[in-house]
């Protein structure tokens, strides 16, 4: 799959309707390109693992995606759990139902908030960095240099990054849930008077395997989306430093929106 | 038969012709310098040789292969024979100079590590950069980055090297080092070279032939001595402007 493409120029739209159609077409073609990049990356992943340099790069990307984002993800998930516990706990206390606080926090985190906060952190910390890095490489002719050397940018650059996100996102989402539940427990026991052991037993009693697997599946999909969108935005960069800024911004916006939309669709598919 | 031939190549961007029926040939082992004012299609010409761009009409033929029409496998083989030195050097920032030079060998061949190390050392020696092997691109000067890019371009034992403005932005001493390297690689390794430059002094020094391109057309293609004495008004205008520092 060729990444360095010839520039395309369009005439100015003759009417508003034509402008809207063009905008829609460009969004659809961007989605099509992202899908092609995702498929090509999946196809080239065995080739990444076959080469020593590919395995080393994949391991490095796992580190960048998983370990370097841990501090941010820990803070985000801790406060997500604390906010959830405070809001839900105050309502439950009105009905003397504080004993269900653990269950409420656990269900919210495992089904939605864990994968969602993890996805948002990945968009902000990893996706934006990928788009900026690849965008800078594109405008510095490094991607063209790889293509001229017959080194596939998909295999060399895209596949390790996308797969690191797919592998790490579920693990990070699980970590988010654990830290969030602990955060909820701290608020429950210190501010709402809920016994911590009762909180934990209520949380563990409600958790079902299905919830966990759907949550982890969702996180995996978010990882794929963040990776694919940021790689395709990075590869599509043009117009110098301004273009890098635009690509980074677009990758973050598209990542946020797609995570929200896909999150709803996956929930709808599994919980009717 | 010429090793490289441009046959009436036209390239339009946004309807505007950048190359307008450009025709020229390059013989095996020759250094052809393409000169001309900025924005006249010199770099665009080079990009056609590795199919980063394809002609709107006409043909680009390298060793009997039509570059725009050849299959993916043929293009890969062809690109394996061509080294390309970008204006910026296009080195990967997270790799040392030696790792950058080793990259095409590690990714595209199954050579043993010792053979790769030997070839990298030889390529770095050829461009007089052995001392900077362990440095990162950000730790070396622009001229050294270009030499590292050149080492990467020749490490696969390529027989054609394309230079895109190899001396632009360099001081006269470093520019002269690059000129000397181009000549040395051509003489010692028999590398066919196409050098895109607006530095006429450098072109007169290293070229076997100089091609002046203006508004996407070939104006004159001749040996340096002949080029310098040309009576063609466009060549005279270019030479005068270059002498006055206007180009």
ipTM confidence score: 0.86
| pLDDT higher than 80, residue B153 | yes
pLDDT, tens only, B71-105: 888 888 888 889 899 888 889 988 999 999 999 99
pLDDT in tens, B215-234: 888 888 889 888 888 888 88
Q: Using CA atoms, how far apart are residues A219 and A225, in angstroms rounded to an integer?
A: 10
Domain range annotation of chain A: 32-270
Q: Tell whether B103 is within 8 A of chain A (Cβ).
A: yes
- CA angle, residues B37, A145, B88, in degrees to nearest 5: 50
pTM of this structure: 0.86
Q: Measure the CA–CA gap between B42 and A266, rounded to whole angstroms.
A: 52
In this complex, is the C-beta atom of A144 within 8 Å of any C-beta atom belonging to chain B? Answer: yes
pLDDT tens-digit readout, A240-265: 888 899 999 999 999 999 999 999 99
A147 contacts in B (CB within 8 Å)? Answer: 52, 79
Residue A32 has phi, psi (to 5 degrees) of -65, -40
Query: Which pLDDT does position A19 carry in this prediction?
Result: 81
The predicted model gives B188-205 an average pLDDT of 88
Residue B111 maps to a domain = yes
Is residue B140, in this structure, part of any structural domain at all? yes
pLDDT score at A99: 86
Interface test with A, best of B43, B86, B138 (most A CBs within 10 A): B86
Q: What confidence score (pLDDT) does residue B214 get? A: 87
On the question of pLDDT at A59 being above 70, the answer is yes
Q: What is the mean pLDDT of residues A99-120?
A: 92
Is B236 a member of any domain? no
B19's CB contacts (< 8 A; 6+ apart) are B9, B10, B11, B41, B44, B45, B48, B55, B216
B77, closest residue in chain A (CA to CA): A150
| Measured distance CA(A148)–CA(B82) in Å, rounded | 8
Mean pLDDT computed over every residue of chain A: 90
Q: How many other C-beta atoms are found inside a 10 Å radius of the C-beta of residue A50?
A: 10
Contact with chain B for residue A12, Cβ under 8 A: no
Report the number of distinct structural domains present in chain B. Answer: 1
Q: How confident is the model at residue A207 (pLDDT cuts 50, 70, 90)?
A: confident
Q: What is the CA radius of gyration of chain B?
A: 18
* Strand order from edge to edge, sheet including B4-13: B16-26, B4-13, B57-62, B65-66
Chain B contact present for A141, CB below 8 A: yes
A to B CB pairs, distance under 8 Å? 51
Partner-chain contact A9 B76, CB within 8 Å: no
Sorted by sequence, the CB contacts under 8 Å of residue A153 that are 6+ apart come out as: A3, A143, A146, A147, A235
A217 pLDDT band (50/70/90 cuts)? very high
Measure CB to CB from residue B108 to each of A7, A142, A150 and give the nearest one.
A150
**What mean pLDDT do residues A93-110 have?**
90
Question: Cβ separation of B90 and A145 shorter than 8 Å?
Answer: yes
Residue A238: list chain B partners with CB under 8 A: none
Residues of B in contact with A142 (CB under 8 A): 90-92
Asked if B137 and B85 touch (Cβ cutoff 8 Å), the reply is no
**Chain A residue numbers touching B74 (CB-CB < 8 A):** none
Shortest distance between the Cα of B247 and any Cα of chain A, in A, equals 24
pLDDT at B245: 57
Task: Report the half-sphere exposure of B18 (CA within 13 A, side-chain side).
Answer: 19
Chain A nearest C-alpha distance from B210 (Å): 25
The domain that holds B94 is classified in CATH as 3.40.50.300
Show the domain range for B148. Answer: 4-229
Instruction: Give the gap in angstroms from C-alpha A175 to the nearest C-alpha of chain B.
Output: 30
């Amino acid at each position: 799959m060729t990444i360095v493409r010839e520039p395309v120029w369009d005439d100015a739209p003759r009417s508003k309707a034509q402008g809207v159609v063009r905008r829609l077409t460009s969004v659809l073609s961007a989605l099509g390109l992202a899908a092609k990049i995702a498929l090509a990356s999946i196809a080239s992943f065995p080739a990444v693992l076959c080469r020593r340099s590919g395995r080393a790069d994949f391991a490095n990307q796992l580190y960048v995606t998983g370990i370097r984002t841990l501090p941010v993800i820990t803070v985000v998930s801790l406060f997500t759990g604390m906010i959830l516990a405070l809001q839900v706990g105050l309502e439950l206390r009105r009905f003397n139902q504080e004993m269900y606080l653990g269950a409420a926090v656990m269900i919210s985190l495992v089904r939605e908030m864990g994968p969602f906060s993890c996805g948002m952190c990945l968009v902000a910390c990893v996706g934006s960095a990928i788009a900026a890095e690849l965008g800078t490489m594109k405008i510095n002719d490094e991607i063209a240099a790889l293509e001229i050397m017959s080194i596939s940018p998909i295999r060399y650059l895209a596949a390790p990054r996308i797969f690191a996100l797919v592998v790490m996102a579920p693990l990070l989402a699980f970590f988010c849930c654990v830290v969030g539940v602990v955060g909820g427990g701290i608020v429950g026991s210190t501010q709402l008077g809920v016994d911590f052991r009762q909180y934990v037993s209520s949380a563990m009693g409600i958790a079902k395997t299905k919830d966990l697997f759907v949550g982890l599946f969702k996180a995996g999909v978010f990882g794929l989306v963040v990776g694919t969108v940021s790689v395709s935005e990075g590869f599509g960069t043009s117009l110098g430093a301004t273009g890098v800024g635009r690509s980074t911004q677009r990758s973050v916006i598209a990542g946020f929106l797609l995570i929200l939309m896909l999150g709803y669709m996956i929930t709808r598919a599994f919980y009717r | 038969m010429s090793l490289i031939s441009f046959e009436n190549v036209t390239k339009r961007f946004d309807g505007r012709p950048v190359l307008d029926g450009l025709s020229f040939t390059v013989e095996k082992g020759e250094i052809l310098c393409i000169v001309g004012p900025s924005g006249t299609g010199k770099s665009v010409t080079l990009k056609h040789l590795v199919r980063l761009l394809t002609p709107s009409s006409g043909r680009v033929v390298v060793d009997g292969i039509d570059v725009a029409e050849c299959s993916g496998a043929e293009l890969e083989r062809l690109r394996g024979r061509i080294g390309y030195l970008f204006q910026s050097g296009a080195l990967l920032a997270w790799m040392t100079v030696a790792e950058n030079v080793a990259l095409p060998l590690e990714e595209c061949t199954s050579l043993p590590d010792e053979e790769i190390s030997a070839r990298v050392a030889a390529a770095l020696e050829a461009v007089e950069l052995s001392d900077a092997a362990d440095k990162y691109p950000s730790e070396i000067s622009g001229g050294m980055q270009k030499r590292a890019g050149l080492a990467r371009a020749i490490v696969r034992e390529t027989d054609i090297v394309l230079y895109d403005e190899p001396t632009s932005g360099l001081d006269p001493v470093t520019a002269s080092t690059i000129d000397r390297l181009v000549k040395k690689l051509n003489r010692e390794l028999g590398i066919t070279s196409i050098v895109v430059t607006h530095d006429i002094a450098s072109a007169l020094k290293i070229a076997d032939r100089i091609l002046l391109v203006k508004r996407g057309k070939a104006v004159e293609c001749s040996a340096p001595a002949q080029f310098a004495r040309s009576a063609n008004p466009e060549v005279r205008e270019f030479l005068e402007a270059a002498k006055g520092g206007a180009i």
